[in-house]
C-alpha cells in the first residue's frame, strides 16, 4: 500500500510543477518560523493612516497558520516628543492570519504569513504618525513605530522593520519641489497611465497640520490619496493629481501669525506659480479642467486662489473653509460668482465656525445669482464605514473633509440632491463634469 501511494504522489507533484516540500509541507513549528524582519502594510482611514497588517517570513513553505499563536507588541516614540503611556506602548489585537507572499497577497501556500490587526479611531497605537503640538502650532509627523511579534508556541520573534507598504501612497511621486522668489514648496503628484487625450488636473491643498517638507504627510494624514484611487479616477476618465505642501501653514501672514483673509498670506503667489509650472510641464493636462480644493487652511488657500484667478480654475471643492466671510468684498463675490464651487462643512465645527465662514459666503453667492454653487451642510462628521458606530459615532466636527475624500457629499444646502442632467450626483461626479 505504501509503495503505491508514494509514486502516485510524486507523479501528481511533477504534473503540477510544484516543489515536493511545497505540497507535503507538514513542517514542524520549530522549523517553519524564522526570527528577524517584518514588513508593515499601512492603510488609509478617514481619521488617518493605520498599520493594518504585518508580513513575516517563514523558513519553509507553510500551508496553514493560526492567528491565536501570535502576539504583537508596539512601541511608539519620537525624539523630543512626550507621549502618554497609553500611546507609547501596548499590544495590538490580531484579528486573523493568512499565508501570503512578501507583499501580503493571499496564497494557498507560501513562505510568508500576514497578520491582520484590529484598528480603531480611538487607539493611537494603531498609527505610525502623531499630531505634535510645538511652539503654538500642531503638525502631523511620522514617528518611530516598532513592533515585536512573537510566535508563542516556539518563542520565535520578529522585531526589525524591513520595509513598509502603503499602496495608495505608493502611487505618488513624492519628490517634487518648486521655488519661486525664494519660497520653496514641496509637492506630491500622480499621473494617470496612458494619456492619449488630455486629462484634467485635481489639486488638493492640505490642512494646517500637514505643513513641512514631506508631501507624504500632506497626502496621508487626511486620506487625500483617495483622489488617485481607481474609483475616483474613473469619474474623470483618469486625472492628474497635484498635492502641494507649504513649509509652515497656508494661512501664514508676513508677521508669522494666521490670516483669516484680513491680510495677505505669504504663499499664494508661489503656489500659483507652482501650479502654472506643473501644467506647463505636463502638456497632457486639459487646461480647461483644472480643479482646486482643500480643507481648513487648504480651504482658505483654495478660495484665495479662486479669488485671485477666477478664470483659471474650472471648479473648486472646499471643505471646512477657514476664510472668514467678513473679509470678502462684494466686488470679490461678483468676480467669483460664476466659478462652480461645492462647499462641505459640519454644523458642529468649532475650529472654522460655519456662521463666520461658509454659511454667509454661500448665501451671498446665491443672492448674487451664482448658477452653480452647492453646499453640503452636515449635522456631524460620522463614521461612514459603519464599523465603529456608523451614524452614532462622531468625529470632530472640523473633519468634514472626510465627506470629500470619500465622495460622500451628494446634497445641497436645501437638503435636496445635487442634480446633473436631471440625475443626482456625488461631489466627484459633479466635479468631473465641470469645464472652464
pLDDT tens for residues 161-188?
999 999 889 999 999 999 999 999 999 9
| CB within 8 Å of 243: residues ≥ 6 apart | 172, 187, 188, 189, 203, 204, 205, 206, 215, 218, 219, 224
- CATH 2.60.40.2180 in the chain is located at 23-165
Averaged pLDDT, 302-310: 98
Strand residues in 101-248 grouped as ranges (E): 110-117, 129-134, 137-142, 144-151, 156-165, 173-180, 183-190, 199-205, 240-245
pLDDT, one tens digit per residue, over 34-48 is 668 999 999 999 999
CATH topology of domain 23-165: Immunoglobulin-like (2.60.40)
- The answer on pLDDT for 30 being more than 90 is no
CATH topology of domain 169-433: Rossmann fold (3.40.50)
Give Cα separations from 318 to 185, 381, 394 (angstroms). Answer: 21, 15, 21
**Cβ distance 328 to 361 under 8 Å?**
yes
- The answer on pLDDT for 288 being more than 80 is yes
What are the backbone dihedrals phi and psi of residue 429, each rounded to the nearest 5 degrees, phi first? -60, -45
19 vs 98: which has the higher pLDDT? 98
pLDDT for the residue 136:
74
pLDDT for the residue 97:
98
**Cβ distance 168 to 228 under 8 Å?**
yes
Q: How would residue 33 be classed by pLDDT, with cut points 50, 70 and 90?
A: low
Q: What are the cell numbers at 86?
A: 497609553
- CATH 3.40.50.1820 in the chain is located at 169-433
Q: What is the pTM of this model?
A: 0.90
Amino acid at each position: 500500500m505504501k509503495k503505491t501511494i508514494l509514486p502516485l504522489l510524486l507523479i501528481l507533484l511533477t504534473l503540477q510543477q510544484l516543489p515536493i516540500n511545497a505540497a507535503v509541507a507538514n513542517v514542524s513549528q520549530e522549523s517553519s518560523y524564522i526570527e528577524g524582519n517584518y514588513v508593515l502594510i499601512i492603510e488609509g482611514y478617514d481619521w488617518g493612516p493605520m498599520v493594518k497588517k504585518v508580513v513575516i517570513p517563514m523558513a519553509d513553505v507553510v500551508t496553514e497558520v493560526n492567528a491565536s499563536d501570535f502576539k504583537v507588541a508596539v512601541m511608539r516614540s519620537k525624539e523630543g516628543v512626550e507621549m502618554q503611556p497609553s500611546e507609547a506602548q501596548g499590544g495590538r489585537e490580531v484579528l486573523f492570519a493568512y499565508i501570503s507572499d512578501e507583499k501580503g497577497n493571499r496564497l494557498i501556500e507560501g513562505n510568508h504569513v500576514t497578520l491582520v490587526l484590529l484598528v480603531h479611531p480611538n487607539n493611537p497605537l494603531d498609527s505610525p504618525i502623531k499630531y505634535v503640538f510645538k511652539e503654538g502650532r500642531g503638525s502631523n509627523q511620522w514617528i518611530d513605530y516598532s513592533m515585536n511579534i512573537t510566535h508563542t508556541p516556539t518563542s520565535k520573534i520578529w522585531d526589525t522593520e524591513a520595509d513598509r507598504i502603503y499602496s495608495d501612497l505608493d502611487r505618488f511621486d513624492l519628490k517634487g519641489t518648486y521655488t519661486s522668489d525664494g519660497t520653496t514648496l514641496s509637492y506630491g503628484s500622480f499621473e494617470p497611465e496612458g494619456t492619449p487625450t488630455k486629462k484634467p488636473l485635481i489639486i488638493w491643498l492640505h490642512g494646517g497640520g500637514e505643513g513641512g517638507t514631506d508631501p507624504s504627510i500632506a497626502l496621508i494624514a487626511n486620506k487625500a490619496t483617495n483622489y488617485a484611487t481607481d474609483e475616483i479616477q474613473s469619474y474623470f476618465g483618469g486625472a492628474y493629481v497635484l498635492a502641494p505642501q507649504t513649509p509652515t501653514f497656508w494661512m501664514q501672514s508676513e508677521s508669522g501669525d494666521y490670516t483669516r483673509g484680513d491680510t495677505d498670506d505669504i504663499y499664494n503667489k508661489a503656489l500659483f506659480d507652482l501650479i502654472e509650472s506643473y501644467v506647463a510641464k505636463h502638456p497632457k493636462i486639459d487646461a480647461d479642467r483644472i480643479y482646486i480644493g482643500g480643507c481648513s487652511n487648504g480651504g482658505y488657500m483654495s478660495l484665495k486662489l479662486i479669488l485671485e484667478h477666477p478664470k483659471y480654475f474650472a471648479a473648486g471643492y472646499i471643505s471646512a473653509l477657514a476664510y472668514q466671510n467678513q473679509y470678502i468684498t462684494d466686488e470679490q463675490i461678483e468676480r467669483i460668482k460664476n466659478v462652480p464651487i461645492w462647499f462641505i462643512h459640519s454644523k458642529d465645527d468649532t475650529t472654522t465656525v460655519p456662521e463666520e465662514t461658509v454659511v454667509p459666503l454661500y448665501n451671498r453667492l446665491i443672492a448674487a445669482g451664482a448658477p452653480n454653487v452647492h453646499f453640503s451642510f452636515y449635522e456631524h462628521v460620522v463614521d461612514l464605514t459603519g464599523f465603529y458606530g456608523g451614524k452614532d459615532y462622531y468625529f470632530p466636527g472640523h473633519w468634514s473633509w472626510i465627506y470629500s475624500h470619500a465622495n460622500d457629499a451628494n446634497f445641497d444646502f436645501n437638503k435636496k440632491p445635487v442634480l446633473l442632467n436631471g440625475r443626482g450626483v456625488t461631489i466627484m461626479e459633479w466635479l468631473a463634469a465641470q469645464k472652464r
